[in-house]
Amino acid sequence: MLPRNVFGTLFLICVAFSGAIAMGIFRMPHEVAKAVSDPRLFFAVWVAGSVYTLISAAPMAELATRFPKSGGYYVFVRRALGEFIGFTVGYLDWTTVVAATALISMVVSDQLVKLFSASPDATTPVSIGLIVLLTALNLGNARATQTLHIGASVLKGIAFLLIVGGLGLTSAEAIHPTLPATAGSATFGGLFLAFQAVIATYGGWELSAYYAGETSSSRKVIPRALYGSVIVIMTVYLSMTAVLMRVLTVDEIASTPMPFTLAMERTLGSGGALPLSILMAIIMISALASCILGASRVLYALASDKLALASFARTDQRGVPTCALLVGAAFAILLIVSGTFGRILSVLALFRVLNYLLCVVSVFALRRNAPPNEDVYRTPGHPWTTLIIGIVSGIFVVSSFVVDTHNSVLGICIAIIGTPVYFLAKRRQ
């Protein structure tokens, strides 16, 4: 069994901060700028996405305090909407996090190979080595795990401070745009696509709730951790966006898939890409460690409810779910070797948004039968704030089918593939 009373607010904020911020903030400004060319609207979309994410933390906090068990979305949805839907959410969530682990490890290894001028053939072995190393570090006891993730978050925070400081403190005379600023424009469709890109960048803020069963006092710790995580991530994203707009025009951001590289080269010269690559490697290694740990909690929760092999729910004498960690690492390595991780992530992108919607539905379903004096955190402004989140999430789900029908249908097929596993698990029970 996982130990209780081992993780506090600081660790939970750090693990979410580490897991949420990876490549998204470096690539997504380009996608947003392509959809919205007006500078004021460009920044306003990032602000709107931040506010939406902050509001979304409330239903997650209510569910995590109502059911203080490690495992993330699976735990809440299973209790509110039934075992089959819960299993499907858990199985897809675990697959998505493991695929993200594979993707991040490949991106980091590619950065490291370029930094050390090694052969491109070394990318796959280095990525596998990173997963093995960070899995081994996550196999430590609770104290060692906290030290790893808090330390990684500190390094990550320093990296972001250096990027923001480097771009923000550059004198205005040193900035010479190659594309002049324009008034810009935006359509409703463009604003929607930009908002969707920002929400995707925030993915991972909810990782604090994956450890709800290992906290000292979930009623106090989980809401603080979730709100704290979102506020820290908001601060980083809005600061990064602001300093990027100081150096580049929105048209320039739209013209390059890696706008921060162009911004650093403009402020530091042709060698500006090198320090950025080093800082990005630090940032993504931190995210990789967080993903490896988070995936183990989902698999552990499924196995605890006898919906996966019992060995995945076993812990060693220190309370570490060794088997769940090793299986997640092995599956990530398998995806790297097969080269399918990117495809799986694209196909399962729909379910990240669907999880938000299911959280909202779960809050309404559980509130209907809950006693009025129940000692759990309650979503402020419910039902209106909860309804707004549900409507926006529902629009995202529908638009995913319209805009990316092929991948959405394939995602449903992957979900259906898990159905025999569920019924096999039920039969074994």
Task: Express each pLDDT in 98-133 by its tens digit.
Answer: 988 988 898 889 888 888 878 888 889 999 999 999
Rounded to whole angstroms, the Cα distance separating 333 from 330 reads 5
119: exposed, middle or buried (C-beta count within 10 Å: 0-12, 13-18, 19+)? Answer: exposed
pLDDT at 324 over 80: yes
Cβ(61)–Cβ(377) below 8 Å: yes
Band of pLDDT at residue 426, cut at 50, 70 and 90: confident
| Mean pLDDT of all residues belonging to the chain | 86
Measured over the CA atoms of residue 105, residue 298, residue 221 and residue 365, the dihedral's sign is positive
**pLDDT for 174 beyond 70:** no
Tokens matching residue 271? 């060698």
Cis peptide bond N-terminal to 383, omega within 30: yes
Domain boundaries, the chain: 9-428
pLDDT of residue 341: 64
pLDDT band for position 72 (50/70/90)? Answer: very high
Q: Is residue 191's pLDDT more than 90?
A: no
Q: Please state, in angstroms and rounded to a whole number, the distance separating the CA atoms of residues 120 and 157.
A: 29
Looking at 3.40.50.300, 3.30.2320.30, 2.60.40.10, 1.20.1740.10, the CATH number of the domain 9-428 comes to 1.20.1740.10
Q: Over the stretch 227-256, which tens digit does the pLDDT of each residue have?
A: 999 999 999 999 999 999 988 889 899 988
Residues in CB range of 252: below 8 A, 6 or more apart? 177, 178, 179, 259, 262
DSSP string, 179-216: S--------HHHHHHHHHHHHHHTTTGGGGGGGGGGBS
Q: Which comes out higher in pLDDT, residue 371 or 363?
A: 363
pLDDT: which is higher, 89 or 169 = 89
Q: If you average pLDDT over residues 33-38, what whole number do you get?
A: 89
Judged against a pLDDT cut of 90, whether residue 192 lies above it is answered with no
Residue 342 CA from chain centroid, whole number: 15
- pLDDT of the residue at 125: 92
Q: Output the pLDDT for position 222.
A: 92
Residue 354: band (very low, low, confident or very high) from pLDDT cuts 50, 70, 90: confident
46 token code pair? 């990032």
Q: Which residues contact 214 (CB under 8 A, 6 or more apart)?
A: 2, 3, 4, 5, 6, 7, 70, 142
**Cα–Cα distance between 77 and 90 in angstroms, integer?**
9
pTM above the 0.75 mark? yes
| End-to-end CA, the chain | 19
